[in-house]
Amino acid sequence: MPGFQLPDAQGKMHSSGECLGEHGVLVVFACNHCPFVIHLAEKLGEKAREWSERGVTTVAITSNDLEAYPQDGPGPMREFAKEYRWDFSYLIDESQEVALAYGAACTPDFFLFDREGKLFYAGQFDKTRPKSGEAPDGRDLEEAVSALIDGKEAPKGMPASGCSIKWKEANQPQWWNAG
């Protein structure tokens, strides 16, 4: 798990090491304005509370260019977290270095690590999408969290899909314009 030290919307610093739960941590790259994040935000808050009780913590990180997308900044982050009952840390990666280190590509993008910080699962929350008419259930990620806790093999995940991370021009990954 790439290390980080990032502030939350109130300016309090959080480190990757302090985010690890008894069994591991779920790192979610998110933002406030993405329809894919909004679609599953309430269910993510609910599942994160359940997983926390089972020893897997959650931390969300916004890595969007806040100058170009101020709606993803600290004030709106606090409102978003309150509205969707995100009781976990929601951090700001203003330099975008953390998103680059994780290889995050979109919001939401999910990375589940075991308690030693080894990547266990990277993939989607579930198969639902905005405007699909289906309510999110978190099935794919629930299967991964349960496997992690139960000491089983990680499920094969479908890649996450959503809005692209809004890169600052100087930070765009080489693969960003590769095709």
Whether residue 71 is contained in a domain is answered as yes
Tell me the residue type at 162: G
pLDDT at 171: 87
Contact 36, 163 (CB under 8 A): yes
Domain count within the chain: 1
Whether residue 134 is contained in a domain is answered as yes
CA 101 to mean position of chain CA atoms: 14
Q: Which residue spans within 13-161 are E strands per DSSP? A: 13-15, 24-29, 56-62, 89-92, 106-107, 109-114, 119-123
At 60, list the tokens.
């969300």
CA 65 to mean position of chain CA atoms: 16
pLDDT at 177: 61
Ramachandran sector of residue 133 (left: φ over 0; alpha: ψ -120 to 50; beta: rest): left
pLDDT at 179: 43
The domain that contains 37 carries what CATH number? 3.40.30.10
pLDDT at 178: 46
What single-letter DSSP state applies at residue 101? Answer: H
pLDDT at 173: 83
Rounded CA gap, 1 and 16, in Å? 8
Closest-CA residue to 119 (of 24, 18, 47): 24
**Considering the entire predicted model, what is its pTM?**
0.95
At 96, list the tokens.
């975008």
Whether residue 179 is contained in a domain is answered as no
Q: Which residue spans within the chain are E strands per DSSP? A: 5-7, 13-15, 24-29, 56-62, 89-92, 106-107, 109-114, 119-123, 163-164
pLDDT at 143: 98
Whether residue 133 is contained in a domain is answered as yes
pLDDT in tens, the chain (179 residues): 999 999 999 999 999 999 999 999 999 999 999 999 999 999 999 999 999 999 999 999 999 999 999 999 999 999 999 999 999 999 999 999 999 999 999 999 999 999 999 999 999 999 999 999 999 999 999 999 999 999 999 999 899 999 999 999 888 887 666 44
pLDDT at 170: 87
In sequence order, what are the residues at sequence separation of 6 or more whose Cβ sits closer than 8 angstroms to the Cβ of residue 88?
A: 48, 52, 57, 58, 59, 60
Whether residue 54 is contained in a domain is answered as yes
Residues comprising the chain, all counted:
179
Residue 38 phi/psi, 5° resolution? -60, -40
For 116, the domain range is 5-174
